[in-house]
Amino acid sequence: MIHILTVHWKDDRWINIQLDYIKENIKKPYKVYAYVNHIEKDYSDQFYYSNTENIQDHATKLNLLAQVPIQEGAPDDDWLLFMDGDAFPIGDVVSYVDPLLKHYPLVAVQRQENLEDKQPHPLFCVTTVGFWKKYEGDWRKGYKWKNKHSLATDVGGNLLGILERNNIDWFRILRTNKKDLHVLNFAIYGDIVYHHGASFRPNISRVDKNINPFKPNRFLAFCKKFRYLQNITFYYKGKHEQKIKVNNKKLSDEVFEKILGSKEFYKFFQEP
């Protein structure tokens, strides 16, 4: 049995899309468990288990979802498949993952394109009930790694810590886009899963800020030396980041329309 664990927050646009792609691409019995916070429509009949409890922290919700099949007595060799609400499979998941789990206890996306992040990412991660129980799996941030510029932590940080402290090798599913509209969003990993990106939060990421850095002119650089003039630099940086959010949101809406228009929209990203 595959226990699919996902989170939808303040937006129900992805629920039926995700469920349709799961049905088409997972050829093994499965159950879907979901947090569906701040969504007016009742989707409880769409899931094996759903919860609307007002919990905001994404990692906490994933940890709680994982405990549901465990507390129900799921066998140790059952799969736990964590998946972001705006992610879904585009290929045969069982044929892809099954041989990998024979050699690795955990198979997950690693977003190296996000300033060389090292942690497993819950947009798509598969392990077993037995592994999660034995090592007390934890998606929360906390454990830090050295990325391209500095120490970082994020969702998946503590899970990376568990893997590294126990010298556990895991399989990294990497970005396979042949065509990129954005360095991080609209991603295909391993030609097996699509991740839209930033659908449930403001559409700006760490890598956005790095690729489009705020570069003050000499006057603003001078202002930064004096506390009473720092508001000038904060103002211009805020305007710059707002422009990034607007542009990313526009592109996100355009790609979403393509998703609605074709079940094979993702082939656009697989062609040079």
* Alpha-carbon gap, residue 26 to 14, rounded angstroms: 17
Does 225 map to a domain? Answer: no
Contacts with 32 (C-beta within 8 Å, 6 or more apart), sequence order:
4, 6, 19, 22, 46, 47, 48, 49
In a domain, 262, yes or no: no
Share of the chain above pLDDT 70, in %: 87
pLDDT in tens, 227-254: 544 554 455 566 667 777 788 888 889 9
Residues whose CB is less than 8 angstroms from the CB of residue 118 and which lie 6 or more positions away in sequence, other chains included: 110, 145, 147, 160
Q: What is the pLDDT of residues 122-156, one digit of tens each?
A: 999 999 999 999 999 999 999 999 988 789 899 99
**Domain assignment present for 52:** yes
Domain annotation covers residue 259? no
- The answer to whether residue 66 is domain-embedded is yes
Q: What is the pLDDT of residue 228?
A: 46
Question: For residue 157, what are the domain limits?
Answer: 2-179
CA dihedral 242, 248, 249, 250 (to 10 degrees): 110
- Domain count of the chain? 1
The helix/strand/coil state of 7 is: strand
Q: What pLDDT is stored for residue 139 in this prediction?
A: 98
Question: H or E element: which one contains 193?
Answer: strand 193-195
Other C-beta atoms within 10 Å of 37: how many? 17
Q: Give the pLDDT band of residue 204 (cuts 50, 70, 90).
A: low
Domain contains 242: no
pLDDT for 8-21, tens place per residue? 999 999 999 999 99
Mean pLDDT of 98-120: 96
Residue 236 belongs to some domain of the structure: no
DSSP assigned state of 265: T
Per 3-state DSSP, the chain is made up of helix, strand and coil in percentages (nearest 5) of 40, 20, 40
For position 154, which CATH number holds? 3.90.550.10
Q: Residues 114, 153: contact at Cβ < 8 Å?
A: no
pLDDT for the residue numbered 232: 45
- Identify the top-confidence range among 77-86, 200-209, 235-244: 77-86
Is residue 257 a part of any domain in this protein?
A: no
Task: Evaluate if residue 201 carries a pLDDT over 80.
Answer: no
Which pLDDT value is given to residue 161? 98
pLDDT of residue 241: 74
Mean pLDDT of the residues in the chain: 89
The alpha carbon dihedral of 223, 240, 176, 123 has a sign of positive
What is the reported pLDDT for 131? Answer: 98
Place of tokens 């990993």: 189
Mean pLDDT value of segment 255-261: 94
Q: Does residue 34 have a pLDDT over 70?
A: yes
Mean pLDDT of 74-87: 98
Q: What is the pLDDT of residues 163-185, one digit of tens each?
A: 999 999 999 999 999 999 988 99
